[in-house]
Structure 1
Amino acid sequence: MIIREIVESDIQQMVAIYNHYVETTSVSFEETPINAATLKERIEIVTSAGLPWLVAETNGQIEGYAYAGQWNKRSAYKYTVEPSIYIAVNNIGKGIGKALYTYLLASLKSKGIKNAIGVIALPNPSSIALHESVGFKKVGEFDRIGVKFGQEVSVGYWQLALDA
């Protein structure tokens, strides 16, 4: 497995990975599957801001991806990002998430980013474990803030200081 910056030919596999989460879980609060054009626009926003969008790839197969977008558009938040990570369903639990996250966080730190805010739909013990394994600490929770598949979903917030 290699971790590298995204290229356009990765997008269709990434759409399939993401849409699994949209269609079958509360991990994403998106309710309608996306297409390649939508993902391409999102990638452009992140990368044009100088932030990384990474994939884990083995022999042309995308195993997962990770990126970080701006936490808030107000200028005082310019050193704080919200990372996201999505792993192909057949690769969950194989260490790919931790490898991607470790690489992403190092890249963010090298770019002068000071804080990462992990946003986790709850319950999600595997995502909590992943975040905490790389140093995130829980800092808050909004109770039943979203509704997906007719169920109220809470959201927890984990923070990692990258300049510590």
Structure 2
Amino acid sequence: MIRNVQLSDALRIAEIYNYYIENTVITFEEKKVSAREIENRIQKISAKGYPYIVYEKGGIILGYAYLNTWRERSAYDITLENSIYLDYNQTHQGIGNELLTALIEESKKIDIHSIIGVISLPNEPSRKLHRKTGFNLIGNFKESGKKFNQLIDVEFWQLLLD
């Protein structure tokens, strides 16, 4: 079941996200986050009126997704960036597709024109997910980040909603 996030979900979200911080280049964050930090992030995103959702099954959160500011200037207010993270044991089961599809539907309710997906490479599952849900590859920024002492390319994918 997909539902809106609650502050009480913060600990589980931190557990899911910290795996990616510690083990992958999917996020460029390098230090684990606390449940309190996730609570703060939930509050900031929710205060903007942006969707933040979780996928729950049997009372356990298996993934989460949200939309947030893509760029700070007000001219960019029509475009948001998506983030989707799944429990690393729950990938390839369609959960990411359900979450991203729900985010797209929620973005239409708040009059968003465009969603940007930012994918650090390698991350073939995220590329496939964005392609499947109608996003188009816009560009690749070569060696634009560094984590685990390796240079990382970052792709930008875009979905126009109009």
**Common fold, TM-score beyond 0.5?**
yes
User: What secondary structure sits across from 2:120 in the alignment?
Assistant: strand
Q: Percent identity?
A: 43
Determine if the alignment matches structure 1 residue 58 to structure 2 residue 57: yes
Deviation at 1:73, TM superposition (A): 1.1
Residues of 2 paired with 1:114 and 1:138: CA distance? Answer: 17
In the alignment, structure 2 segments of 5+ residues that lack a partner are none
Structure 1 unpaired stretches of 5+: none
Q: Are 2:83 and 1:84 equivalent residues in the alignment?
A: yes
Matches for 1:38-117 after TM superposition, within 5 Å: 38-117=37-116
The one-letter code of the counterpart of 1:25 is T
Paired residue for 2:21? 22
Summarize deviations over 1:60-88 as a string: whole Å, max 9, x none.
10010000001111011111000000000
- Partner AA of 1:50 in structure 2: G
Which amino acid in structure 1 is aligned with residue 72 of structure 2?
Answer: K
Aligned length: 162
Q: Following TM superposition, by how much is the alpha carbon of 1:9 offset from its aligned partner in structure 2, in angstroms?
A: 1.6
Query: Runs in 1 of length 4+ with deviation above 4 angstroms?
Result: none
CA deviations 1:16-51 (Å, max 9, x no partner) are 000000000000000000001111111111110000
Counterpart amino acid of residue 11 in structure 1: A
Range that drifts further, 38-47 or 91-100 = 38-47
Alpha-carbon deviation of 1:151? 0.7
TM (norm. structure 1) is: 0.97
Question: More deviation in 24-33 or 37-46?
Answer: 37-46
TM-score (norm 2): 0.98
Task: State how far apart, in whole Å, the 1-side matches of 2:150 and 2:28 are.
Answer: 12
Aligned-residue CA RMSD (Å): 0.7
1:59 deviates by 1.7
- The corresponding residue for 2:153 is 154
1:151 partner amino acid: Q
Give how far 1:92 is off.
Answer: 0.3
Judge conservation of contact 2:66–2:84 (CA < 8 Å) in 1.
yes
